[in-house]
Amino acid sequence: EEWLVKYKSWRDFVIDSYNIRLSEMLEAIDTLAFMKMDQRLYKYLTDKVKIMRSTTLTTTHQQIAHDLNTSRVVISRLLKQLENEKKIELNRNKIEVLEF
């Protein structure tokens, strides 16, 4: 507490850190509460592309289903739908994100 008063840069850092975490938490709640599964899946894929800095994701339908807390069958169906919309290209254990 003394540091927060004494060092403005430390206080700014702490407040910015809390702000970032709060924003992430609110975005997660918004995603879970208000987005349909197809939107959640596409957001998941595009977020992974940004994090990995690669348009090719090496993962399984089961892993995605686990991460999104749904069944593999639902993910497989939605991935096929995204492929038909030309947003992704599916290969064995690889997903190429074409649009993001």
For 38-62, the pLDDT digits (tens) are 999 999 999 999 999 999 999 999 9
Residue among 68, 29, 61, 22 at smallest CA distance from 47: 68
88 touches 44 (CB < 8 A): no
For the chain, the distance separating the N- and C-terminal CA atoms, rounded to the nearest angstrom, is 43
What band does 11 get if pLDDT is binned at 50, 70 and 90? very high
Would you state the pLDDT for residue 19? 96
d(CA 8, CA 27): 28
- Residue 84: what are its φ and ψ, rounded to 5°? -65, -30
Predicted TM-score (pTM) of the model is: 0.74
What band does 26 get if pLDDT is binned at 50, 70 and 90? very high
